[in-house]
Amino acid sequence: MALNKKPVNGMKDIMPEEMQIRDYVISVIKETYGKFGFTPMETPCMENIENLSSKQGGENEKLIFKILKRGEKLNLETAQSESDVVDFGMRYDLTVPLVRYYSNHANELPSPFKALQIGNVWRADKPQKGRYRQFMQCDIDILGEESNLAEIELILATTTTLGKLGFKNFQIRINDRRLLKAMAAYSGFEEKDFDDVFITLDKMDKIGLEGVERELIADGYDSGSVEKYLALFRDLNASEDRLSFIEEKMTGFFDVEAKAGFREIIESVNATKDDCFQLVFDPTLVRGMSYYTGTIFEIMMPELGISCGGGGRYDKMVGRFTGKDVPACGFSIGFERIILILMESSFKVPNQSKKTAYLIEKGVSGDRLCEIIAEAQRERQDGTQVLVARMNKNKKFQKDQLIADGYENITDCYRDSVEQL
């Protein structure tokens, strides 16, 4: 029986045209983030299952690709629970592995540590257009920086990178988990219910205020608390200065220092940013990961109606490994969505080197072959990309493919003559 030539469901093969764009985007990312002082690092694709299942990854913990124990460690006959048969899992994001890495190597790393990670992650999600079970993430994180300088640097580095990739008129939506908690407490919800309330609030873009109200009531929350909570968002939508309105409304609930720091982030970014994006305070922004403790942000492309990344502050996560909290904040670019946008817009990689091809007829003498290869080598040393290949029987189709791939000069090398296209 023939082997299956298709990739695993939910994963894909990457063709040369896309790979060229991916390589270009990665080069821009590395160069730009490098200028902001971020250092490349890498972690394994697998993590201990207890790290991935620590109730910090939100819904992603339901999507882990789990790995069976191996050899003598795997005994299906005596297994009583999942922990008896599973010990590792494929990472579903880059943040959990980074925190483990930092916890293990903190004494060897500078403080603050500015990390750049680019790598694949895996989620057992339902495949759909632009969403695969294996996909690349690109994260920058700052660990050990307590001040809001971390948020400011992360936002400016990310938006500078997107601007260099040609993106304009996008938004950075910003909120604070402490403000979300203050609004929930003001409305009368119990602290133990905050995360569940936020999960429902996070659906507002899809189901609207009325939908959020129906779900909260259906979940058994007090109707008076629900009405008071949603009235805040109605009043916010009607307010000309939403940030000032909510700051005044949350007096006694939103920490004074946190309030000042949040406003300072917004004012500092607005004072130093370029014109390619807008910073927007969005009180409905939640972000799904429960490990966020402070500022949260998200990249929004209004013209396309999609989100292209996000992040936030997670000051309590390192302490889960070491027993001592370390301030930390990160921002992740939606790499795959950016590639999809560029592909669909027929993006061409700029400033590519000149491309030349030599097609050699079968039967060309050894001396003539050496002359052609020597000429190709000289051109390569001058910076030209040179392809040397045998001439196919269907020469027209071969040339059409080369032209489509950007080859400007194509030379036919016959046994007794040379023809240049």
Is pLDDT at 418 greater than 70 in this prediction? Answer: no
Using CA atoms of 143, 148, 153, 155 in order, give the dihedral in degrees to the nearest 10: 110
Name which of 331, 332, 330, 319 is nearest 106 in CA terms: 319
230 in the same domain as 142: no
- Asked whether the beta carbons of 188 and 225 are under 8 A apart, the reply is yes
pLDDT digits (tens, 9 = 90+) for 220-261: 999 999 999 999 999 988 888 998 999 899 998 988 889 999
186 in the same domain as 160: no
Supply the mean pLDDT for the chain.
91
Is pLDDT at 20 greater than 90 in this prediction? Answer: yes
Residue 316 inside a domain? The answer is yes
| Cα–Cα distance measured from residue 276 to residue 273, given in angstroms and rounded to the nearest whole number | 8
Reported as a pLDDT band with limits 50, 70 and 90, residue 404 is confident
> Which residues, 6 or more positions from 265, have their beta carbon under 8 angstroms from its beta carbon?
148, 151, 152, 155, 174, 295
| Cα–Cα distance measured from residue 203 to residue 205, given in angstroms and rounded to the nearest whole number | 6
Name which of 212, 192, 186, 223 is nearest 284 in CA terms: 212
Buried b (16+ CB within 10 A) or exposed e, 183-207: bbbbbebeeeebeebbbbbbebeee
364 in the same domain as 348: no
Residue 13 inside a domain? The answer is yes
Q: Which residue has the higher pLDDT, 2 or 141?
A: 141
What's the maximum distance between 2 C-alpha atoms anywhere in the chain? 91
176 in the same domain as 107: no
394 in the same domain as 283: no
- What domain range is 153 assigned to? 7-166+306-352
Is pLDDT at 270 greater than 60 in this prediction? Answer: yes
Q: For 189, list phi and psi in degrees, rounded to 5.
A: -75, 150
Mean pLDDT of 204-217: 91
CATH, residue 374: 3.40.50
| Cα–Cα distance measured from residue 243 to residue 228, given in angstroms and rounded to the nearest whole number | 18
- Which of the listed residues 318, 337, 352 is the one where a domain comes to its end? 352
Residue 253 pLDDT: 92
Q: What percent of the chain has pLDDT over 90?
A: 73
209 in the same domain as 241: yes
Residue 374 pLDDT: 94
149 in the same domain as 17: yes
Is pLDDT at 290 greater than 60 in this prediction? Answer: yes
27 in the same domain as 69: yes
Residue 2 inside a domain? The answer is no
Long-range contacts of 218-224 (CB under 8 A, 24+ apart): 221/189, 221/193, 221/197, 222/188, 224/188
Residue 218 pLDDT: 94
- Asked whether the beta carbons of 4 and 127 are under 8 A apart, the reply is no
- The tokens describing 79, both together, are 């297994």
Reported as a pLDDT band with limits 50, 70 and 90, residue 84 is confident
**What amino acid is encoded at 30 in this protein?**
K
Is pLDDT at 144 greater than 80 in this prediction? Answer: yes
- Which of the listed residues 352, 385, 412 is the one where a domain comes to its end? 352
Residue 50 inside a domain? The answer is yes
Residue 1 inside a domain? The answer is no
Mean pLDDT of 19-30: 96
203 in the same domain as 161: no
233 in the same domain as 277: yes
Task: Count the domains in the chain.
Answer: 3
The model's pTM is 0.89
278 in the same domain as 185: yes
- Asked whether the beta carbons of 158 and 269 are under 8 A apart, the reply is no
141 in the same domain as 70: yes
